[in-house]
Structure 1
Amino acid sequence: MELNTKLKEARSHAGLTQEEVAEAIQVSRQTISNWETGKFYPDILSVIKLSDLYAISLDELLKGDKKMIEHLEESTDVVSSNRRLIAAVIVNVALMIILVTFNGLISNNRLLIGISAVIGILSTGVLFYQIIKKF
């Protein structure tokens, strides 16, 4: 059984409305509705709060819903996200060192200036994307 169905059944069994659950775990009623229809998945902290509120185990809530498990793995994979961020920083620093080192050679060639600018903009964009994604 999928998580959305389990959440709806647990809420009904507890005799609570979506509004009451929303107030108890400090989210909107629409958020509860989205979780119960399977439109979105709750984050791990919300799942824990729901587990406590409905007095059912996390194991009971989460087992059997492979999509939810994948969502949780993806959203909590800190090591992988840190590696990507560190790699983006290293690439940007290396590119800046190369550009400063070869500045004299590049300044006479408009094509190399253009390529350097594009590479710099792209690498900085990737770095900013990794930083924003981290937060």
Structure 2
Amino acid sequence: MNIGQKLQAARKAQNLTQEHIADKLMVSRQTISNWENNKSYPDILSLIQLSDFYEVSLDSLVKGDDAMIKHLANSTDVVASNHKLILAVACNVVLLAIFLIYNAWIIGNSYLILACVLAWIISSGFLFYQIINRI
């Protein structure tokens, strides 16, 4: 049984509505529906609250659903997230240094300007993605 089925069964066993749980967790009813239909997964703090509301162990909710365990591993891996953020910042600094050093040569070549701008946009996009993911 996957996490969505377990959440739905536990909610129904307590005779609670999605709206009631959504109000308790301060999320939308659609969020609860998405969790129960495996369209998205709750974060670890929401899982803890759900286990309290449904009076089931966190262990029984999570174990057996490999996708949920993978989601939790990815969302709580701070070290990997820090490495990605440092890599993104380093790439942006290196690109900026290259642009400054080769400024005179770059200006005369429109294709090189385009390539540099695209590289900077991709690198900055990755940096912003990493920053937003941390929030």
* TM value normalised by structure 2: 0.83
Within-5 A mapping of 1:1-135? 1-135=1-135
Structure 1 unaligned spans of 5+? none
* Secondary structure in 2 matching 1:16: coil
What percent of counterpart residues are identical? 53
1:70-110 superposed Cα distances (whole Å, 9 cap, x missing partner): 11112222221221111111111112122222223334444
C-alpha separation in 1, matches of 2:16 and 2:118: 56
Structure with bigger gyration radius:
1
Aligned residue pairs total: 135
1-10 or 22-31: bigger deviation: 22-31
C-alpha separation in 1, matches of 2:124 and 2:97: 14
C-alpha separation in 2, matches of 1:70 and 1:35: 15
C-alpha separation in 1, matches of 2:130 and 2:62: 29
Change (3 A) 1:19 1:126: closer
Change (3 A) 1:92 1:15: same
Question: How far did 1:66 drift?
Answer: 0.8
